[in-house]
Amino acid sequence: MGEEKLFVDFEKQNGLVPVITQDKTTKEVLMLAYMNKEAFDETLRTKQATYFSRSRNKLWVKGESSGHIQTVSDILIDCDNDTILLLVEQKGAACHKGYNSCFHTSVKTGDPVVIAEKVFDPEKVYK
Amino acid sequence: MGEEKLFVDFEKQNGLVPVITQDKTTKEVLMLAYMNKEAFDETLRTKQATYFSRSRNKLWVKGESSGHIQTVSDILIDCDNDTILLLVEQKGAACHKGYNSCFHTSVKTGDPVVIAEKVFDPEKVYK
Protein backbone atom coordinates (compact mmCIF):
# COMPACT_ATOMS: atom_id res chain seq x y z
CA MET A 1 0.00 0.00 0.00
CA GLY A 2 1.21 3.56 -0.47
CA GLU A 3 2.49 3.66 -4.03
CA GLU A 4 -0.95 3.09 -5.57
CA LYS A 5 -2.23 6.46 -4.38
CA LEU A 6 0.04 8.10 -6.92
CA PHE A 7 -2.19 6.71 -9.65
CA VAL A 8 -5.20 8.74 -8.55
CA ASP A 9 -4.64 12.45 -8.96
CA PHE A 10 -6.47 13.94 -6.00
CA GLU A 11 -4.73 17.29 -6.31
CA LYS A 12 -6.18 18.23 -9.69
CA GLN A 13 -9.66 18.93 -8.32
CA ASN A 14 -9.31 20.30 -4.80
CA GLY A 15 -8.61 16.90 -3.32
CA LEU A 16 -11.83 15.32 -4.61
CA VAL A 17 -12.25 13.02 -7.60
CA PRO A 18 -15.58 11.94 -9.11
CA VAL A 19 -16.47 8.29 -8.63
CA ILE A 20 -18.88 6.46 -10.93
CA THR A 21 -20.50 3.46 -9.26
CA GLN A 22 -21.74 0.65 -11.48
CA ASP A 23 -23.56 -2.57 -10.57
CA LYS A 24 -21.08 -5.33 -11.40
CA THR A 25 -23.81 -7.74 -12.51
CA THR A 26 -26.42 -5.66 -14.34
CA LYS A 27 -23.89 -2.97 -15.41
CA GLU A 28 -26.43 -0.32 -14.46
CA VAL A 29 -24.79 2.99 -13.50
CA LEU A 30 -26.02 3.56 -9.96
CA MET A 31 -24.68 6.95 -8.87
CA LEU A 32 -21.87 9.46 -9.00
CA ALA A 33 -20.17 10.60 -5.80
CA TYR A 34 -16.76 11.93 -4.74
CA MET A 35 -13.74 10.57 -2.89
CA ASN A 36 -10.82 12.25 -1.22
CA LYS A 37 -7.67 10.23 -0.56
CA GLU A 38 -8.93 9.07 2.82
CA ALA A 39 -12.19 7.77 1.34
CA PHE A 40 -10.24 6.00 -1.40
CA ASP A 41 -7.91 4.39 1.13
CA GLU A 42 -10.86 3.27 3.26
CA THR A 43 -12.60 1.80 0.21
CA LEU A 44 -9.43 -0.11 -0.75
CA ARG A 45 -8.98 -1.34 2.81
CA THR A 46 -12.56 -2.32 3.67
CA LYS A 47 -13.96 -3.12 0.19
CA GLN A 48 -17.08 -1.16 1.26
CA ALA A 49 -17.70 1.92 -0.89
CA THR A 50 -16.77 4.98 1.18
CA TYR A 51 -17.21 8.46 -0.26
CA PHE A 52 -16.62 12.04 0.84
CA SER A 53 -19.89 13.88 1.34
CA ARG A 54 -19.56 17.40 0.00
CA SER A 55 -22.75 18.53 1.75
CA ARG A 56 -21.80 17.08 5.15
CA ASN A 57 -18.06 17.63 4.65
CA LYS A 58 -17.08 14.22 6.01
CA LEU A 59 -16.49 10.59 5.07
CA TRP A 60 -19.65 8.69 4.26
CA VAL A 61 -19.85 4.91 4.23
CA LYS A 62 -22.56 4.25 1.65
CA GLY A 63 -25.42 2.45 3.39
CA GLU A 64 -24.51 3.55 6.93
CA SER A 65 -28.10 4.77 7.46
CA SER A 66 -30.07 2.64 5.02
CA GLY A 67 -28.14 -0.62 5.17
CA HIS A 68 -27.77 -0.32 1.41
CA ILE A 69 -24.05 -0.97 1.37
CA GLN A 70 -21.89 -1.46 -1.71
CA THR A 71 -19.31 -4.24 -1.69
CA VAL A 72 -16.53 -3.38 -4.12
CA SER A 73 -15.39 -5.98 -6.64
CA ASP A 74 -13.16 -3.78 -8.80
CA ILE A 75 -11.71 -0.26 -8.82
CA LEU A 76 -10.75 1.25 -12.17
CA ILE A 77 -9.12 4.59 -12.92
CA ASP A 78 -9.40 6.48 -16.17
CA CYS A 79 -6.62 7.43 -18.56
CA ASP A 80 -6.25 10.88 -16.94
CA ASN A 81 -6.00 9.37 -13.44
CA ASP A 82 -8.68 11.75 -12.20
CA THR A 83 -11.88 9.68 -12.23
CA ILE A 84 -12.68 6.38 -10.52
CA LEU A 85 -15.10 3.66 -11.62
CA LEU A 86 -16.26 1.28 -8.87
CA LEU A 87 -17.85 -2.04 -9.74
CA VAL A 88 -20.00 -3.07 -6.81
CA GLU A 89 -22.49 -5.53 -5.46
CA GLN A 90 -25.32 -3.25 -4.33
CA LYS A 91 -27.36 -4.35 -1.32
CA GLY A 92 -30.88 -2.92 -1.56
CA ALA A 93 -30.80 0.08 -3.89
CA ALA A 94 -28.44 2.99 -4.47
CA CYS A 95 -30.75 6.01 -4.60
CA HIS A 96 -32.00 7.61 -1.38
CA LYS A 97 -35.26 8.40 -3.18
CA GLY A 98 -36.12 4.69 -3.44
CA TYR A 99 -34.86 3.83 -6.90
CA ASN A 100 -32.20 1.30 -7.89
CA SER A 101 -30.21 4.05 -9.59
CA CYS A 102 -29.92 7.79 -9.03
CA PHE A 103 -30.25 8.07 -12.82
CA HIS A 104 -33.97 7.43 -13.20
CA THR A 105 -35.02 10.59 -15.05
CA SER A 106 -34.67 11.06 -18.80
CA VAL A 107 -34.47 14.56 -20.27
CA LYS A 108 -33.84 13.58 -23.86
CA THR A 109 -37.09 15.11 -25.09
CA GLY A 110 -36.47 18.32 -23.17
CA ASP A 111 -39.01 17.39 -20.50
CA PRO A 112 -38.03 15.25 -17.51
CA VAL A 113 -39.61 11.78 -17.51
CA VAL A 114 -39.10 9.27 -14.71
CA ILE A 115 -38.26 5.98 -16.41
CA ALA A 116 -37.92 3.62 -13.42
CA GLU A 117 -40.03 2.27 -10.58
CA LYS A 118 -39.27 2.74 -6.90
CA VAL A 119 -37.98 -0.41 -5.25
CA PHE A 120 -38.25 0.77 -1.64
CA ASP A 121 -40.09 3.39 0.41
CA PRO A 122 -37.60 6.01 1.65
CA GLU A 123 -39.80 6.91 4.59
CA LYS A 124 -39.54 3.38 5.92
CA VAL A 125 -35.79 3.07 5.33
CA TYR A 126 -34.60 6.49 6.58
CA LYS A 127 -36.20 6.92 9.99
CA MET B 1 -36.79 23.86 -25.42
CA GLY B 2 -35.91 26.21 -22.59
CA GLU B 3 -37.64 24.78 -19.55
CA GLU B 4 -35.62 21.58 -19.53
CA LYS B 5 -32.41 23.42 -18.66
CA LEU B 6 -33.83 24.08 -15.23
CA PHE B 7 -33.49 20.39 -14.52
CA VAL B 8 -29.71 20.43 -14.81
CA ASP B 9 -28.07 22.51 -12.10
CA PHE B 10 -25.11 24.05 -13.87
CA GLU B 11 -24.61 26.69 -11.19
CA LYS B 12 -23.68 24.30 -8.39
CA GLN B 13 -20.25 23.51 -9.81
CA ASN B 14 -18.91 26.60 -11.58
CA GLY B 15 -21.11 26.04 -14.60
CA LEU B 16 -19.79 22.55 -15.32
CA VAL B 17 -21.48 19.24 -14.55
CA PRO B 18 -19.84 15.81 -14.83
CA VAL B 19 -21.14 13.60 -17.62
CA ILE B 20 -20.83 9.82 -17.55
CA THR B 21 -20.92 8.27 -21.01
CA GLN B 22 -22.10 4.67 -21.33
CA ASP B 23 -22.33 2.44 -24.41
CA LYS B 24 -26.06 1.88 -24.89
CA THR B 25 -25.59 -1.69 -26.13
CA THR B 26 -22.74 -3.17 -24.09
CA LYS B 27 -23.42 -0.92 -21.06
CA GLU B 28 -19.66 -0.37 -20.74
CA VAL B 29 -18.82 2.95 -19.07
CA LEU B 30 -16.70 4.70 -21.69
CA MET B 31 -15.55 7.98 -20.14
CA LEU B 32 -16.32 10.90 -17.88
CA ALA B 33 -16.26 14.45 -19.20
CA TYR B 34 -17.93 17.78 -18.42
CA MET B 35 -20.65 19.92 -19.95
CA ASN B 36 -21.59 23.54 -19.54
CA LYS B 37 -25.07 24.66 -20.53
CA GLU B 38 -24.00 25.38 -24.10
CA ALA B 39 -22.53 21.88 -24.51
CA PHE B 40 -25.70 20.38 -23.06
CA ASP B 41 -27.89 22.39 -25.43
CA GLU B 42 -25.73 21.39 -28.40
CA THR B 43 -25.92 17.73 -27.40
CA LEU B 44 -29.72 17.93 -27.11
CA ARG B 45 -29.98 19.70 -30.45
CA THR B 46 -27.54 17.63 -32.53
CA LYS B 47 -27.69 14.27 -30.70
CA GLN B 48 -23.87 14.17 -31.02
CA ALA B 49 -22.10 14.18 -27.66
CA THR B 50 -20.58 17.63 -27.15
CA TYR B 51 -18.55 18.37 -24.04
CA PHE B 52 -16.69 21.32 -22.57
CA SER B 53 -12.96 20.73 -22.57
CA ARG B 54 -11.48 22.03 -19.33
CA SER B 55 -7.93 21.85 -20.71
CA ARG B 56 -8.73 23.68 -23.96
CA ASN B 57 -11.45 25.84 -22.38
CA LYS B 58 -13.90 25.41 -25.25
CA LEU B 59 -16.67 23.21 -26.62
CA TRP B 60 -15.50 19.86 -27.88
CA VAL B 61 -17.52 17.66 -30.22
CA LYS B 62 -16.36 14.16 -29.29
CA GLY B 63 -14.78 12.61 -32.36
CA GLU B 64 -14.04 15.87 -34.15
CA SER B 65 -10.39 14.80 -34.63
CA SER B 66 -10.65 11.01 -34.55
CA GLY B 67 -14.01 10.46 -36.20
CA HIS B 68 -15.00 8.53 -33.07
CA ILE B 69 -18.29 10.31 -32.60
CA GLN B 70 -20.96 9.41 -30.06
CA THR B 71 -24.59 9.41 -31.17
CA VAL B 72 -26.82 10.01 -28.17
CA SER B 73 -29.79 7.73 -27.59
CA ASP B 74 -30.76 8.89 -24.09
CA ILE B 75 -29.86 11.62 -21.60
CA LEU B 76 -30.51 10.95 -17.92
CA ILE B 77 -30.01 13.25 -14.94
CA ASP B 78 -29.44 12.12 -11.38
CA CYS B 79 -31.62 12.80 -8.35
CA ASP B 80 -29.55 15.86 -7.39
CA ASN B 81 -29.81 17.33 -10.91
CA ASP B 82 -26.06 17.82 -11.01
CA THR B 83 -24.76 14.83 -12.98
CA ILE B 84 -25.64 13.62 -16.48
CA LEU B 85 -25.57 10.07 -17.87
CA LEU B 86 -25.42 9.79 -21.66
CA LEU B 87 -26.30 6.54 -23.40
CA VAL B 88 -24.54 6.52 -26.73
CA GLU B 89 -23.70 4.57 -29.82
CA GLN B 90 -19.91 4.87 -29.96
CA LYS B 91 -18.28 4.92 -33.38
CA GLY B 92 -14.75 3.53 -33.13
CA ALA B 93 -13.61 3.77 -29.52
CA ALA B 94 -13.90 6.35 -26.75
CA CYS B 95 -10.37 6.56 -25.34
CA HIS B 96 -7.74 8.67 -27.10
CA LYS B 97 -5.15 6.12 -26.00
CA GLY B 98 -6.67 3.46 -28.26
CA TYR B 99 -8.95 1.61 -25.86
CA ASN B 100 -12.71 1.17 -26.06
CA SER B 101 -13.07 2.77 -22.63
CA CYS B 102 -11.00 5.29 -20.70
CA PHE B 103 -11.45 2.96 -17.73
CA HIS B 104 -8.99 0.23 -18.69
CA THR B 105 -6.77 0.21 -15.61
CA SER B 106 -7.63 -1.64 -12.40
CA VAL B 107 -6.10 -0.51 -9.09
CA LYS B 108 -7.99 -2.87 -6.82
CA THR B 109 -4.84 -4.67 -5.69
CA GLY B 110 -3.05 -1.39 -5.05
CA ASP B 111 -0.97 -1.73 -8.24
CA PRO B 112 -2.29 -0.50 -11.60
CA VAL B 113 -3.05 -3.30 -14.05
CA VAL B 114 -4.25 -2.66 -17.60
CA ILE B 115 -7.21 -5.00 -18.14
CA ALA B 116 -8.15 -4.25 -21.76
CA GLU B 117 -6.62 -4.47 -25.23
CA LYS B 118 -6.12 -1.53 -27.55
CA VAL B 119 -8.58 -1.48 -30.44
CA PHE B 120 -6.86 1.20 -32.52
CA ASP B 121 -3.45 2.80 -32.90
CA PRO B 122 -3.59 6.42 -31.66
CA GLU B 123 -0.65 7.43 -33.87
CA LYS B 124 -2.61 6.48 -36.96
CA VAL B 125 -5.86 8.14 -35.84
CA TYR B 126 -4.53 11.44 -34.45
CA LYS B 127 -2.24 12.80 -37.13
pLDDT at A49: 98
CA pair distance A43, B46, nearest whole angstrom: 39
Does the predicted interface ipTM exceed a cut of 0.90? yes
Q: pLDDT at residue B4 above 50?
A: no
Answer whether residue B15 is part of any domain. Answer: yes
Answer whether residue B126 is part of any domain. Answer: no
pLDDT at A6: 56
Q: How many angstroms separate the CA of residue A63 from the nearest CA in chain B?
A: 17
CA pair distance B71, B88, nearest whole angstrom: 5
Element (H, E) at B122: helix B122-125
Query: What CATH number is associated with residue B68?
Result: 3.10.20.810
- Residue B29: its chain A contacts at CB < 8 A? 20, 22, 29, 85
Answer whether residue A83 is part of any domain. Answer: yes
List pLDDT tens digits, range A24-35.
999 999 999 999
Answer whether residue A38 is part of any domain. Answer: yes
CA pair distance A122, A7, nearest whole angstrom: 37
Q: Which stretches of B17-68 are DSSP H helices?
A: 37-46
Answer whether residue B64 is part of any domain. Answer: yes
Domain count within chain B? 1
CA pair distance A67, A92, nearest whole angstrom: 8
B108 to A72: CB separation less than 8 angstroms, yes or no: yes
Answer whether residue B35 is part of any domain. Answer: yes
Residue to test with chain A: of B72, B107, B120, most A Cβ within 10 A: B107
Domain of residue B87 covers 3-94
Provide the residue type at B123 as one letter. Answer: E
User: CA dist A78 to A3, B78, B91, B103, Å?
Assistant: 17, 21, 19, 4
pLDDT at A45: 94
- Phi, psi dihedral angles at B103 (to 5 degrees): -95, 80
Averaged pLDDT, B26-40: 97
Answer whether residue A39 is part of any domain. Answer: yes
List pLDDT tens digits, range B42-101.
999 999 999 999 999 999 999 999 999 999 999 999 999 999 999 999 999 999 999 999
- Residue B85: its chain A contacts at CB < 8 A? 29, 103
- Phi, psi dihedral angles at B126 (to 5 degrees): -100, 100
Residue B27's pLDDT band (cuts 50, 70, 90): very high
pLDDT at A120: 94
* B20 close to A (CB below 8 A): yes
Terminal-to-terminal C-alpha distance of chain B: 38
**Spatial CB neighbours of B90, under 8 Å, sequence gap ≥ 6:** B23, B30, B68, B70, B100
∠ CA A89-A60-A10, nearest 5°, is 90
- Residue A44: its chain B contacts at CB < 8 A? 107-108, 110
This prediction has a pTM of 0.94
Give me the DSSP letters along A72-127.
Answer: EEEEEE-TTS--EEEEEEESS-S-TTSSSSS--EE-TTSS-EE-S---S-HHHH--
Tens-digit pLDDT string for chain A (127 aa): 444 445 898 988 789 999 999 999 999 999 999 999 999 999 999 999 999 999 999 999 999 999 999 999 999 999 999 999 999 999 999 999 999 999 999 999 888 999 999 999 999 988 7
Tell me what the pLDDT averaged over chain B comes to. Answer: 92
Residue B6's pLDDT band (cuts 50, 70, 90): low
A106 to B75: CB separation less than 8 angstroms, yes or no: yes
- Dihedral (Cα; A57, B54, A109, A32), 10-degree rounding: -30
Answer whether residue A110 is part of any domain. Answer: no
DSSP state of B9: -
Taking the CB of residue B69, how many other CB atoms lie within 10 A of it? 16
pLDDT at A4: 41
A28 to B27: CB separation less than 8 angstroms, yes or no: yes
